[in-house]
Amino acid sequence: MKLLSIDGATVTSGYAIFDKDNKTLLEYDKVNIDDKDLSMRDRVVRMIDEFGKIIDTYNPDEIIMEEVPPAINNSSTVLALGILSGGILGLAHSKGIEIKYIPVPTWHSVLGIKKSKGEIKEQSINWVNEYYGLDLKYYSKSSKKNQDNESDAIAIGSVWIGNYDKSSTGFGRR
């Protein structure tokens, strides 16, 4: 049984594939559609097409996706995330795959990720690196090189399948 975990975003979305039975991370990567010549809708449609290929490759029986936050400072971002989420929902439905959504505060809380502890992206990357022994990179709050899309997808999936061990600092290795 496989889980596809998605951290949806307007340009770069992270994903992770888990074996649910063994609670193991099998694969992770990102879908990046950074084509400034495309409209937002066309960019999101391309991203949905890429997720269709990922679904066909890995054949997950379940998808967990980060819930679209109800309020972001940029309404066009909310619109794009809503279109992406709806597109993934349509893909899942057409293939008979169960899809669920997890709010950002839920998975942050479970892993001890808090604004008061510093940069959220860095905390996600640090948790994934420590827990899974990976080497995802964090450069700065505004860097496009950060690998937080991938780390967020891994963290979301880890919370969903119960594959985490939270210590008092919010981090912990299995």
User: Model confidence over 84-102: pLDDT tens digits?
Assistant: 999 999 999 999 999 999 9
Domain count, the chain: 1
Is 50 exceeded by the pLDDT of residue 168? no
User: Which residue is listed with tokens 């409209």?
Assistant: 39
Average pLDDT, the chain: 91
Whether residue 15 contacts residue 6, with contact meaning beta carbons closer than 8 Å, is answered with: yes
Would 169 be classed as within a structural domain?
no
Q: Three-state secondary structure along 17-50?
A: EEECCCCEEEEEEEEECCCCCCCHHHHHHHHHHH
Would 32 be classed as within a structural domain?
yes
What does pTM read for this prediction?
0.92
Q: What is the pLDDT of residues 34-56, one digit of tens each?
A: 998 999 999 999 999 999 999 99
Would 79 be classed as within a structural domain?
yes
Angle at 142 between CA 108 and CA 6, to 5 degrees: 40
Give the domain range for residue 71.
2-161
Is 70 exceeded by the pLDDT of residue 171? no
CATH code for position 59: 3.30.420.10
Band the pLDDT of 74: cuts 50, 70, 90: confident
